């Protein structure tokens, strides 16, 4: 063994947490010094691949910076530190190995999409050249990839229900890896690095909008507090299935997605907390439905593994040719909430002003872009990638393919009727159907009176 105490570099990406983090756990067991590292990769702040929108918009960037600072604070409390660098991970790792003769291994969680996997290959190449071991883990899904009831992911069912029934009956969720009491110290003499500002990364701090359905901050501590609030403090989970199609307010849905996307909370942690809640409080369709939605997230990840870059191709998973339009005037009207359809416009303005949109809203505006306007579905997917605080590449592109009729959808030509959807889900809007004697959703929070999303976001004078 080298005379230097062994150091393991933990390359953290979408796993910004201490609990249930196999990367940190493995490093703790295999080195005297642990070097948790986060790189602000300049490629994340370039344009999207087809329409050159900024890849990381202001809402997600603010949430990411919160999450990085929160993880640094947690690591300090455990006797460690998050090392931060601006640069390509493969270059940063090479520089660290060069300057630290004690580095014995680099460990990271594997990702799914091609850009993330290209980074992994580049890091492996650097490490092979410098004779440093690489260890990889799988940790972004509820069910571990190795525990799926399919011989390999090429055999993954193309229908969600078949996938769900198979894993629910034939697989088990692994136990949690607990947060370490202490994290092994950094190697001596290492510069910790500053967390960059939004401006340095090409964005400006977005204005807080009091109407936001997601007025939350990034970070593991915030994620765990949100779960405690939604499960244990308010029992909101017990009515989740009834309220999840809401449009206004913080508690109509779990709002876990942004923290899940950055790995501030583990899907396994949520799962085990659901089961604890069911044993101590109540088990019903709503508690099950939280797990049902986590399974959708898993499914899109595994679809991403199975189909690779077809997730981003204009013909989608079904290799289907559709004469999509690329009309920029129509696209800009959709983006800016100027289509003239109040329900669509309200949701699009909410996204532009807050970085968030309800699940029901997303389904409707996606249907409108692809089925009513006939625009290239990637125009919508890239706008969401830019603005959504909870953007997750597999879920976003998988859902857009689903809406466009090119993905995992056994029902052909699915299309939402915007008028009917607005009446069903936004019945308390300013132009709501009170004359028809129809009530809006009973879960609309009191502070909004009986006004719906149409009222709150369609009436905005500017973006």
Looking at residue 348, what is its pLDDT?
A: 97
Question: CA of 201: how far to CAs of 72, 196, 259, in Å?
Answer: 19, 7, 21
298 appears as a binding residue in the annotation: yes
240 appears as a binding residue in the annotation: yes
Looking at residue 419, what is its pLDDT?
A: 58
385 appears as a binding residue in the annotation: no
Looking at residue 433, what is its pLDDT?
A: 28
Beta bridge partners of 447: none
296 appears as a binding residue in the annotation: yes
pLDDT profile of the chain (463 residues), mean per 10: 78 98 98 98 94 94 98 98 98 98 97 97 98 98 98 94 97 97 96 97 93 96 98 98 93 97 98 98 98 98 97 96 97 97 95 96 96 97 98 97 87 63 58 30 34 59 40
59 appears as a binding residue in the annotation: no
Looking at residue 5, what is its pLDDT?
A: 84
294 appears as a binding residue in the annotation: yes
295 appears as a binding residue in the annotation: yes
pTM listed for this prediction: 0.91
Looking at residue 418, what is its pLDDT?
A: 58
351 appears as a binding residue in the annotation: no
Q: Using one digit for the tens of pLDDT, what is the confidence trace for 112-160?
A: 999 999 999 999 999 999 999 999 999 999 999 999 999 899 999 999 9
Looking at residue 408, what is its pLDDT?
A: 86
146 appears as a binding residue in the annotation: no
251 appears as a binding residue in the annotation: no
Looking at residue 423, what is its pLDDT?
A: 60
């Amino acid at each position: 063994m080298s005379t230097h105490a062994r150091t393991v570099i933990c390359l953290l990406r979408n796993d910004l947490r201490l609990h249930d983090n196999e990367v940190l756990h493995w490093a703790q067991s295999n080195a005297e010094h642990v070097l948790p590292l986060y790189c602000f990769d300049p490629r994340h702040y370039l344009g999207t691949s087809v329409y050159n929108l900024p890849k990381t918009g202001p809402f997600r960037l603010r949430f990411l910076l919160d999450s990085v600072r929160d993880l640094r604070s947690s690591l300090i409390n455990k006797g460690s530190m998050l090392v931060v660098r601006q640069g390509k991970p493969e270059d940063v790792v090479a520089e660290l190995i060069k300057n630290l003769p004690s580095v014995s291994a680099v460990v990271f969680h594997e990702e799914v999409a091609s850009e993330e996997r290209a980074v992994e290959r580049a890091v492996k190449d650097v490490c092979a050249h410098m004779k440093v071991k690489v260890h990889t883990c799988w940790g972004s899904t509820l069910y571990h990839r190795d525990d799926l009831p399919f011989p390999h992911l090429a055999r993954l069912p193309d229908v969600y229900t078949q996938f769900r029934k198979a894993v629910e009956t034939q697989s088990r969720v692994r136990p949690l890896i607990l947060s370490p009491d202490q994290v092994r110290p950094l190697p001596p003499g290492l510069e910790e690095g500053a967390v960059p500002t939004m401006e340095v990364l090409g964005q400006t701090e977005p204005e807080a909008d009091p109407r936001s359905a997601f007025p939350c901050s990034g970070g593991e501590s915030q994620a765990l507090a949100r779960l405690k609030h939604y499960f244990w403090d308010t029992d909101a989970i017990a009515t989740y299935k009834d309220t999840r199609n809401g449009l206004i307010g913080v508690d109509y849905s779990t709002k876990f997605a942004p923290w899940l996307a950055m790995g501030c909370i583990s899907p396994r942690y949520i799962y085990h907390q659901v089961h604890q809640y069911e044993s101590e409080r109540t088990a019903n369709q709503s508690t099950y439905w939280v797990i049902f939605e986590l399974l959708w997230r898993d499914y899109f990840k595994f679809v991403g593994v199975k189909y690779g870059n077809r997730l981003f191709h204009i013909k989608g998973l079904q290799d289907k040719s559709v004469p999509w339009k690329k009309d920029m005037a129509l696209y800009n009207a959709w983006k800016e909430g100027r289509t003239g359809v109040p329900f669509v416009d309200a949701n699009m303005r909410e996204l532009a002003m807050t970085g968030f949109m309800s699940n029901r809203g997303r389904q409707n505006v996606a249907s409108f872009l692809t089925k009513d306007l006939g625009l290239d579905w990637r125009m919508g997917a890239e706008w969401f990638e830019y603005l959504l605080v909870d953007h997750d590449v597999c879920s976003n592109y998988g859902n857009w393919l689903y809406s466009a009729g090119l993905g995992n959808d056994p029902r052909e030509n699915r299309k939402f009727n915007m008028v009917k959807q607005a009446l069903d889900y936004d019945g308390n809007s300013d132009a709501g159907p009170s004359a028809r004697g129809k009530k809006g959703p009973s879960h609309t929070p009191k502070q909004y009176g009986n006004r719906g999303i149409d009222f709150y976001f369609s009436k905005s004078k500017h973006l």
